[in-house]
Amino acid sequence: MALTSLTRAPRTDAPARHPKRRFSLWHLVLAPIALLFFIPFAQMLLASLSPRSDLVKFPPPFFPSRITLDGFVGLLTDTDILRWLANSTIVAVISIVSHVVLCSLAGYGFARLQFRGRTAGFFLILATIMIPTQLLMIPTYIMFSKLGIVNTLAAAFVPWLASAFGIFLMRQFFLSIPIEIEEAAAIDGANRLEIFLRVVLPLARPAMTTLAIFTLLSSWNDLVWPLIAINDENAFTVQLGIANFQGTRRTQWDLLMAGNVIATAPLVLFFLFAQKQFVQTMTMSGLKG
Amino acid sequence: MTTVTEKKPTHAGAPRASRPSAPETRAGARRRRGLSTLTGWAFVAPAMVIILGLSIFPAAWAFLLSLQKWNGFAPPKFVGGANYTRLMSDEEFWAAVSHTGLYVVLFVPASVLLGLFLAVALNRDIPLIGLYRTAIFVPFVASAAATGILSTYLFSPQYGLANNVLRSIGLPAQGWLEDPSQAMLVIAIMSLWGQAAFTTVIYLAALQDIPNELLEAARIDGANRWQTFWRVVWPELGPVTVFVTIWQVIGALQLFDLVYTTTRGGPLDATKTIVYYLWEKAFKALDFGTGSAAAYILFAVTLLITVGMVLYARRRNMEAF
């Protein structure tokens, strides 16, 4: 404590000497870059709100001549976008619930329980992180068709029910909780499951949030698994739906961009509300390596 | 459930020196251990079954498949290493390898350097910094499908913003995704747009971990900001740089989604990557054997590159893992 306050002292009174901060030259670097990153989104949104005649004009106008919802209306009448959205939502919810529950259980088991085969089991799980997706595409497809879940939503969520990364993340978190808390509960007569549910899990909320966001991003944005295993339009996720729609409507930009907005908006809004947690997730998911 | 009477483990995985204070019958101890093993497995088994069933099992199966000729319907035929030798003499496969290599070269250094630059730029307390961060981070949540469709719009030769800008400043319009020599560049640019946030966030975290005393000491020694960065900060970031480089190389070698949603491997196969090639082989031509062999070759190459980079980093004394 004393040490921190000593080392911190000069830093806190440094700005006081310059009550009015000078304009930072970094603005000249950051503002254009931020604008550049924002432009694709702006273009997407503007195009989705433009009349189609604007989008095939030459040269194309920077701003729409008028704002219209024709693109969205066309998309709703031409495609099953609402069903795809519902499908994606179902896939994401099942993935998140299963991922958080199963990885918390397993993470706690590997962190705190003593049992035969624990170390071997944990290393086996860690080893699977090395296996790349494309190695699994073909046999998984065959497996799914043998199980009869090709062309169902299950093909989209089964790959996200649990992950080695999730177990690793939860295990690391549980290891960081002081064991005395659990021992106190044990002395009070709680059994393992009670300790886990009543004492440990409530403390693990930050890690569970990180894992939930990771699963949301992965399952909502996934294209490979649905692409391989789902051909039935009724079971399309929103990502597969818009990718497929793009193949048939190469230049109907208003519809395509409306689809893009609908597929992207949920996560963008979520990001804006929970930016800190998202950034935390991005930092942690680097641990996958 | 078991009663919790275990000793506090000093460290996970460390052998436990369990000395029950009260003498216990051997049978009782065995039963208790059996019970706690059961409890342990009850916690980890559900997730383990799913993960192993969806990774180790299919990975082993893929190896078996790579030694067979099979289209999914007719009975599979064992062909030994024939799929591998055929791939080695398949020009299309080597073209896919070189397209993937081109993407790695275009994307990886740019993403690492951009991440570093953005992290340094964003790591300061100035007005509007939150807005800048948000603008740069948000594209990370855009899916490959959305990014791909957006790319075809922004880089459309007739209607796209990219050519519109070029025209308005008097430069000739480009073919972009429809030009075999530019298509991969466009894909790399859009990947950067979507993924710059990742390397930036990793570097930001690393920058904030650098002890202030170190920077203070450099300042006291009279180093200017440029010197401080290259002599103090950059060496401190070494392990992180190794880590993100390996991470981005692995990801870049697996490029597929963005190709599928922009060019579908065209124009003239210029963006057909290894994974796109194996996807076509497996799911268009129903040649599961060749597809699996290609996947294993890619896996082996990825491992080699990763191990090579880790060893190189070790020799330079940069522990990344």
| Boundaries of every domain in chain B | 83-315
Confidence (pLDDT) at A67: 87
Mark the ranges of chain A whose per-residue pLDDT is less than 70. 1-21, 250, 286-289
**What does R_g of chain B's alpha carbons equal in angstroms?**
26
Matching residue, tokens 């403390």:
A203
CA distance B78 to chain A (A): 16
Would you tell me which residues 164-193 of chain B have a C-beta closer than 8 angstroms to some C-beta of chain A? 164, 167-168, 193
The CA–CA distances, whole Å, from B104 to A210, B110, B144, B194, B298 equal 29, 10, 17, 16, 14
Q: What one-letter code names the amino acid at B126?
A: I
- Mapping DSSP to helix (H, G, I), strand (E, B) and coil, where does residue A106 land? helix
CA distance A134 to chain B (A): 6
SS3 sequence of B21-82:
CCCCCHHHHHHHHHHHHHHHHHHHHHHHHHHHHCCHHHHHHHHHHHCEECCCCCCCEECCCH
- Per residue in A117-158, pLDDT (tens digit) is 899 999 999 888 888 888 999 999 999 999 999 999 999 999
CA distance A14 to chain B (A): 13
pLDDT at B319 over 80: no
Of B51, B146, B283, the CB nearest to A125: B51
Residue B127 region by backbone torsions, left for phi larger than 0, else alpha for psi between -120 and 50, else beta:
beta
Of B40, B47, B197, the CB nearest to A118: B40
Q: Look up residue A216 and give its two tokens.
A: 């949301």
Contacts of A146 (CB under 8 A, 6+ apart): none
CA distance A112 to chain B (A): 7
Homologous superfamily assigned to B83-315: MetI-like (1.10.3720.10)
Please state the pTM of the whole predicted model. 0.86
Size of interface A-B (CB pairs under 8 A): 318
Confidence (pLDDT) at A72: 93
Task: Show residues of chain B in contact with A270, CB under 8 Å.
Answer: 141
Q: How confident is the model at residue B320 (pLDDT cuts 50, 70, 90)?
A: low
Task: Show residues of chain A in contact with B256, CB under 8 Å.
Answer: 134, 224
Over residues B16-22, the mean pLDDT reads: 45
pLDDT at B125 over 70: yes
Confidence (pLDDT) at A286: 61
Confidence (pLDDT) at B5: 39
Whole-angstrom Cα distance, residue B57 to residue B53?
5
- Per residue in B267-286, pLDDT (tens digit) is 898 999 999 999 999 999 99
